[in-house]
Amino acid sequence: MTIGAYDGVHLGHRHLIAALREMAADRGLETVVVTFDRHPAVVVRPESAPSLLTDMDQKLELLASTGVDTTVVIKFDEARADETAEDFVLEVLVGSLGARLVVVGQDFHFGHGRKGNVALLREMGETHGFEVIGLGLESDPDGEAVSSTRVRAALSEGDVRTAASLLGRHHEVRGVVVHGAGRGGSVLGFPTANIDVPREIALPSEGIYACWYGRADGSTLPAAVSLGRRPTFSSSSRPSTEGRAPDAGAHDSNPRIDPPVLEAFLLDFEGDLYGEAARISFVERLREERRFDSLEELVAAMSADVERTRALLRGASSAPTSA
């Protein structure tokens, strides 16, 4: 077995699980990933807990795709946070799961105060009959360790290509299509699906992106996605009202309170998406979000964004970049 938050199930995680499966096969053992129902930092240090690269459903799907036999999800609450590393080993690894082999990264820490480490695991393994192997972290071609922190840093800069190279797939967020301001189709000529993404999920920096839109029926469509605060329609920067439909009012947003709005224009698609579960996979950042002085300038930019998205995704695969 292996233990960890496994946020993102990135290439470093996949490297470790692949090694785990190989070692388990040599010993005739089943493979188990032990993870948690929330990121431990949410309980231990909520004021600085990181945004999540995957929700629980995504994480379980990605872990299953690695070929691991079983994933065990443990509730992480204040009692678990206060539990000593020794008690965690005795309760979970020995008492509940009967560990015979534990494979973790060399820098793995666990238990109250993060006092548990590979050395402690080895010491307890000698007493309770399980082997412990600490692996070095997987590195990228530049020799930097692959980590969830690096993925989040790349996303914060809008560098979805680097994020994908670390994840082994396009960064994907999920949400439900909800009603928006209503100006996309009637005013601008680009009807968009507004997707309500949970606030705890990591989004790239604000801007315009070429993406894949995954539908509940399994189909995938190219989409030009705007992620931001609609500066052209904010009360402090309204464009000329000439040519604007009467119902296209300004959208006021407070960046300290409101999350960015994710709007997807699906290329060559007509239909009702309201209430549908959607998946957005970020392929390429096209440009930063900006305020336009007129609706005509905004529509021209949106047209260019759509055509660039079409060119970028034409013939490209919507599947993950690496299994």
- Topology of domain 171-313 in CATH is Elongation Factor Tu (Ef-tu); domain 3 (2.40.30)
Q: For residue range 266-292, what is the model confidence (pLDDT) as tens digits?
A: 998 988 899 999 999 999 999 998 877
Q: Residue 194 in contact with residue 186, Cβ under 8 Å?
A: no
Nearest partner of 202 among 312, 282, 287, 305, judged by Cα: 282
Tokens of 289: 């979000």
pLDDT > 90: percent of the chain: 74
Q: Residue 94 in contact with residue 128, Cβ under 8 Å?
A: yes
Element (H, E) at 121: helix 118-128
E-assigned strands of 233-294?
261-266, 277-287
Name which residue leads in pLDDT, 16 or 179: 16
Largest Cα–Cα distance of the chain, in whole Å? 79
Q: For residue range 123-174, what is the model confidence (pLDDT) as tens digits?
A: 999 999 999 999 998 998 888 999 999 999 999 999 999 999 999 999 999 9
Nearest partner of 61 among 172, 153, 148, judged by Cα: 172
Q: Residue 135 in contact with residue 104, Cβ under 8 Å?
A: yes
What are the residue boundaries of the structural domains of the chain, listed by start?
2-135, 171-313
The model's pTM is 0.86
Q: How far is 76 from 63, CA to CA, in rounded Å? A: 19
Say if domain 2-135 classifies as CATH 3.90.226.10.
no
